[in-house]
Each structure stands twice: as structure tokens, then as C-alpha cells.
């Protein structure tokens, strides 16, 4: 399984844990619903400038933020 696909699966799991629809997450992150779908399917990953809004929408603490960033191979978000 590719890194992007693994990270996409993690986004989906975190979204579902927060009881958010793709549309609700998209609105909170400032992207389209199709962008969230592409992330979750592993076809693309969030742009770096969207990460803070994504993290906030998913109510992620620092440890979870680092884990998600590591899953994408993007380095430390701080």
C-alpha cells in the first residue's frame, strides 16, 4: 500500500471518528468535497497550507498531527 493511500485511510478513519461527512470536513478545511474524497482514496494529499485547518477540523492534538504528517511524508507541521 502506498504512503498516500495509507495517509488517506487515516484521514477517513479520523473523519469518521469525529462523525463528520466528507462535505462537513471539506467545509471546515476550506476545500471541496471532491478534494476530501481524493485525499481519502490516496489519489492526492492535502496541500501544506490546508493542514492546520484539516487538523483543527479533525480535533487533532500535536501527537496525532505529527502522525498524520509523517504518514504523508511531509515532515513536522510545526
Q: Which CATH number characterizes residue 33's domain?
A: 1.10.260.40
pLDDT, mean over the chain: 87
pTM for the full predicted model:
0.84
Domain carrying residue 40? 3-70
Structurally, the chain folds into a number of domains equal to 1
Choose from 4-8, 66-70, 73-77 the range with maximum mean pLDDT.
66-70
pLDDT of residue 4: 58
Classify residue 78: in a domain, yes or no: no
C-alpha cell read off for 31: 476545500
Classify residue 75: in a domain, yes or no: no
Please determine, for residue 77, whether its predicted confidence score (pLDDT) is greater than 50.
no
Picking from 73, 27, 28, the residue whose alpha carbon sits closest to that of residue 10 is 73
Under 8 Å between Cβ of 14 and 69: no
Helices marked H in the chain = 3-17, 22-29, 33-41, 51-57, 62-72
Classify residue 58: in a domain, yes or no: yes
Classify residue 77: in a domain, yes or no: no
Based on its alpha-carbon atoms, the radius of gyration of the chain, rounded to whole angstroms, reads 11
Please determine, for residue 40, whether its predicted confidence score (pLDDT) is greater than 50.
yes
Amino acid at each position: 500500500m502506498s504512503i498516500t493511500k495509507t495517509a488517506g485511510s487515516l484521514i477517513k478513519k479520523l473523519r469518521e471518528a469525529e462523525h463528520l461527512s466528507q462535505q462537513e470536513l471539506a467545509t471546515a478545511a476550506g476545500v471541496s468535497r471532491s478534494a476530501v474524497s481524493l485525499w481519502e482514496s490516496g489519489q492526492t494529499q492535502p496541500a501544506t497550507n490546508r493542514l492546520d485547518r484539516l487538523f483543527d477540523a479533525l480535533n487533532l492534538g500535536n501527537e496525532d498531527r505529527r502522525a498524520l504528517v509523517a504518514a504523508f511524508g511531509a515532515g513536522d507541521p510545526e
